[in-house]
Structure 1
Amino acid sequence: MRSCDRLQEALLQCHRRMPEGPARNSGCRHLNKALAECVVAEVCPEESEAVRSFCSSGGTSLKRKQCEEAQFSLSLCLSRHQRNFEKR
């Protein structure tokens, strides 16, 4: 996950600079979200892209169904990786 290294370092620096509490939560939130999205995209790229594509905006009932299916596929992918990680 080399592509996420800079985001991880930025988040660590944010946590070092800001005291624990609501200010840190608010100040570092965007980095935390960006790092989470980066890791998910690295681990499950196709599923992540499908969620971004189908769930980006409202639409027809077909698009909403495709969004739900994409979210389910992403959830399964992440679960598989979590189980594999836990087996180590």
Structure 2
Amino acid sequence: MPIRDRESPTTPAGNISMPFTECDRLHRALSDCHRRIPAGPPRQAACRHLNRSLAECLVGVACPDESEAVRSLCSSGGTALKRQQCQQAQLSLAVCLSSHQLQSSTP
């Protein structure tokens, strides 16, 4: 499952609470990038790699087994069986991430 490279123009990185301390360094770097570069295409281009790295870190910490399965099974083409396993791994990752979203949205 690909991770989106898009940044939300209305939510600066500095306003997001970081639930996973493992990703603090990347979060600080992305926040610094947002502070240094004005909003718009230049910021999107300059901060893209940090945004992607932070997203991958958060996904990897929240759902480590599922994330690793997607990384290993979906990294290249292969047999019909490998493609099927990749799709199953992507679904498992989506379910895991959804469960974390539901946990954080309940009071």
TM-score strictly above 0.5:
yes
Aligning the two structures, in what range does the TM-score lie when normalised by the shorter sequence?
over 0.9
Which runs of 5 or more residues in structure 2 are unaligned?
Answer: 1-19
In the other structure, the counterpart of 1:84 is 103
Q: Distance in 1 between matches of 2:103 and 2:34?
A: 29
Cα shift readout 1:21-49 (whole Å, capped 9, x = no counterpart): 10100110000000000000000000000
Given the alignment of the two structures, is residue 32 of structure 1 paired with residue 51 of structure 2, yes or no? yes
Secondary structure of the 2:38 match is: coil
Identity of aligned residues (%): 60
Deviation at 1:2, TM superposition (A): 1.4
Structure with more helix by fraction:
1
Given the alignment of the two structures, is residue 60 of structure 1 paired with residue 56 of structure 2, yes or no? no
Deviation at 1:3, TM superposition (A): 1.3
RMSD, aligned α-carbons:
0.6
In the other structure, the counterpart of 1:46 is 65
Which runs of 5 or more residues in structure 1 are unaligned?
Answer: none
In the other structure, the counterpart of 2:33 is 14
Deviation at 1:6, TM superposition (A): 0.2
Deviation at 1:56, TM superposition (A): 0.5
Number of residue-to-residue matches in the alignment: 88
| Regions of 4+ moved over 4 Å | none
TM-score, normalising length from structure 1? 0.97
Cα shift readout 1:18-77 (whole Å, capped 9, x = no counterpart): 011101001100000000000000000000000001001111111110000000000000
In the other structure, the counterpart of 2:42 is 23
Secondary structure of the 1:58 match is: coil
